[in-house]
Amino acid sequence: MSSQTTINLRQRSGKCNADTITMAHGSGGKAMRDLIDDVFVSTFDNPELNKLEDQARFELNTLSALGDRLAMTTDSYVVDPLFFPGGDIGKLAVTGTVNDLAVGGAKPLYLTCAMIIEEGMSVDDLRTIAASMRQTADLAGVKIVTGDTKVVPRGAADKLFINTAGVGIIPAGINIGTDRALAGDVVVINGYIGDHGAAIVDARGDMALQNTIETDCQPLNSLITAMLEVCSDIHCMRDATRGGIATVLNEFAQSSNVCIRLKETAIPMRDEVRGMCEILGLDPLYLANEGKVVAIIPAHAADKVIEVMRAHPDGRYSTIIAEVTEKPEARVILSTLFGGERIVDMLVGEQLPRIC
């Protein structure tokens, strides 16, 4: 799209003058168009989105030059509260979808954004969340290129739910899967666990806890690109969100039919998170993260991978936390602080609902 076309579109963009969302903002008429132009199009602002077609369109030649496979993902975000230490639902929505693409080895390119908004929500809060999404997308090097807006009556939702889908390209030669772990591999992580879960507990204010923990919410694609540059044969990789690192490691162990032996003394965790878990009776292995990648790599590549991770701002506290063995199959076993061992199962139930 030419610059002149973009300027003309902006000149005819509407302005949302309401303080709160009304049902008219979901009607498909002028009020809805003004909201979309004012809050979303002007904020996300890129040539693909500004065309305002019912779909975003891309040249296949451009995509195929980046790799040989297309990666797609989608996720929905219902976190409560919408704003929490270090982030908000908008930052979370972009980060989560970018990371879901990146852990498959894909280069994230484009996102969609669908908003389900409750009548009565503050328009200023919506603007703040849209701005956060744009800032996070810019950080990750992706574009929000199409979307949808729906408004539901008071009580039919809880302020705002967001769905984001993502498209990325996987370069040739990258083959990451949960079924590729081998005996002799090691497990690495890029830093402290449980920060996001702890930040949400603090933001809810139900427990009268006093801490300064912020969410670890961050796009991981830059860090993962650096890891793949020194080890293109990463076997398994996931971002440890709901269910924490325990759930991710169980998925690896079961899909690959191996045993993952986790060392409690090697797991990086803030004292504040550990203390909160002790007070509330939570297991930090199951706490949600939104900026932690867990990867299984060949042992011979561990030193190079850890070195490049620690040199990256998103991986300063990277370390090896576990090793892969043959037996017992499909199990995660924790070597405890006291020298014993216990089985770490998949999460049963939900420690903290609406965490993302």
Q: What is the pLDDT of residue 84?
A: 96
**69-77 and 236-239: which strand pairing?**
unpaired
Distances (CA, A) of 348 to 44, 178, 242, 288: 39, 21, 12, 14
Is the pLDDT confidence value at 44 over 90? yes
Locate 226 and state its tokens.
Answer: 């650096």
Each residue's pLDDT tens digit, 96-154:
999 999 999 999 999 999 999 999 999 999 999 999 999 999 999 999 999 999 999 99
0.85 exceeded by pTM: yes
Q: What is the pLDDT of residue 14?
A: 81
Q: Average the pLDDT over 76-95 and give the result.
A: 97
C-alpha 55/C-alpha 239 separation (Å) is: 29
**236-239 and 293-297: which strand pairing?**
antiparallel
C-alpha 125/C-alpha 137 separation (Å) is: 18
Is the pLDDT confidence value at 8 over 70? no
8 Å CB contact between 112 and 146: yes
3-state DSSP call for residue 81? coil
Closest by CA to 71, choosing from 174, 187, 180, 181, is: 174
Strand locations in the chain (E): 69-77, 83-84, 87-88, 107-118, 143-152, 160-170, 186-189, 236-239, 259-263, 293-297, 319-325, 331-335, 341-343
Q: What is the pLDDT of residue 350?
A: 73
C-alpha 188/C-alpha 294 separation (Å) is: 6
Residue 2: pLDDT band with limits 50, 70, 90: very low
What's the mean per-residue pLDDT of the chain? 94
Residue 31: pLDDT band with limits 50, 70, 90: very high
Q: Average the pLDDT over 302-313 and give the result.
A: 98
Residue-range domain boundaries for the chain: 3-170, 186-343
Q: What is the pLDDT of residue 140?
A: 98
- The fold of 186-343 is Phosphoribosyl-aminoimidazole Synthetase; Chain A, domain 2 (3.90.650)
54, burial (CB in 10 Å: exposed 0-12, middle 13-18, buried 19+): exposed
- C-alpha distance across the termini of the chain, in Å: 36
Say which CATH class 3-170 falls into.
alpha beta
Q: What is the pLDDT of residue 207?
A: 67
Is the pLDDT confidence value at 191 over 90? yes
Closest by CA to 101, choosing from 162, 146, 168, is: 168
Each residue's pLDDT tens digit, 211-243:
789 999 999 999 999 999 999 999 999 999 999
